Amino acid sequence: MITKMEDKKVKAQLLEIYNLLFSKYGDQHWWPANTKFEVIVGALLTQFISWKNVVKAIDNIKASNLLDVHKLHECDIELLKELIRPAGFFNRKASILKSVMTFLVEEYEGDLDKMFLTSLDVIREKLLKVKGIGPETADSILLYAGMKEIFVVDAYTMRIFTRLGLLKGDEKYHQVQEFFMKYLPKDVDLYNQYHALIVKLGSDCCHSKKPKCDKCSLQDLCQHQAL
């Protein structure tokens, strides 16, 4: 994944990147939610869509007094589709929400504290077997709702760290995750903040086609500008 770089150098570089991003953007207060359950719903709805649209969908659910495991489990799916319409792909996402609610009720009686008492490896494997949940969504749930030591990887992570020269760009999800978890201190708060800062940088500056390199706090470390 990295070429002839000593462990200490990589660790130092990852922390330098973190410190530069934190200095510019500050605490991201991520994940923005009032409860663990709201984190889970948000993680499911944010697939393929901007967060502002997710907020609209969650507000609709709240306004209908349905932001509850058992209530969403029993909710008519056609009503659910209408409520989450602002989050896009509402047919697919309603089906995923229903699958996850069924999982939570059948496996843990809707008790999230009980679920998160399960070991990381076990609960992650179970989540990945639920329809519509991939690694990024599962790990977002585990990190942000469950406070588990797991680093979340997304498209921004791949793009930014490939441009920085720390990734080649063809790594699989688990390889990128292993890279960060190997070289960063094992700390839930650090994992949380680091990923949130990556998302912030990606949305602000590191776009796929026309990155705003002149506004990027990592421009002195980045190789992309020379391409």
Q: Please give the CATH topology (third level) of the domain spanning 7-29+151-226.
A: Endonuclease Iii, domain 2 (1.10.1670)
pLDDT at 7: 86
Entry pTM: 0.94
- Give the CA distances from residue 222 to residues 69, 163, 175, in Å, rounded to whole numbers and listed in that order: 44, 6, 21
pLDDT at 112: 98
Q: What is the mean pLDDT of residues 24-29?
A: 96
Q: For the chain, what are the domain ranges?
A: 7-29+151-226, 36-145
Phi, psi dihedrals of residue 56, rounded to the nearest 5°:
-60, -45
Is 70 exceeded by the pLDDT of residue 227?
no
pLDDT for the residue 4: 54
The answer, yes or no, to whether the previous bond of 30 is cis (omega within 30 of 0) is: no
- Dihedral-angle region of residue 165 (phi above 0 means left; psi in -120 to 50 means alpha; beta otherwise): left
Summarize the confidence of residues 108-115 as an average pLDDT.
97
Question: Over 60: is that where the pLDDT of 48 sits?
Answer: yes
The pLDDT of 203-219, averaged and rounded, is 93
Which CATH architecture does the domain made up of 36-145 adopt?
Answer: Orthogonal Bundle (1.10)
- What percent of the chain stands above pLDDT 90? 91
pLDDT at 83 over 60: yes
Which pLDDT belongs to residue 27?
97
- Torsion sign across C-alpha atoms 182, 187, 192, 198: negative
Burial class (CB in 10 A: 0-12, 13-18, 19+), 117: exposed
Average pLDDT for residues 52-77, to the nearest whole number?
A: 98
